[in-house]
Structure 1
Amino acid sequence: MQLLNNLGNLFIKQRIGQIDHFRSNPEDVQEKCLINLVQTARNTEYGRKFNFA
């Protein structure tokens, strides 16, 4: 049970760190997300049609 609690606490601490980063740097996080989405979509029919390359 202690191991499960330790793993849960580790996950929660990491997630809180991510959330704090998102709240502190919303523009940076959104830009990275947009770039990732465009790069992922560049080889789709839609991406090729609208030059996502």
Structure 2
Amino acid sequence: MRDHLGVETQRQWSDKAIASTTPCLLGLFSIVTLLASRLNSRAQLRVSASA
């Protein structure tokens, strides 16, 4: 999961701190993804792209 989402391992942290941080980051990622999906379904957003 860390490699797929780009979550880096915290150096010099305890194993307990890392074990609690990873699920929190995954939960935050999930919430942001769900909110963006809900916003996109309500109004079509334009994504600008450079030439």
Which TM-score applies when normalising by structure 2?
0.48
Quick check: which one's helix share is greater? 1
Which TM-score applies when normalising by structure 1?
0.46
> Which structure would you say has the larger Rg?
1
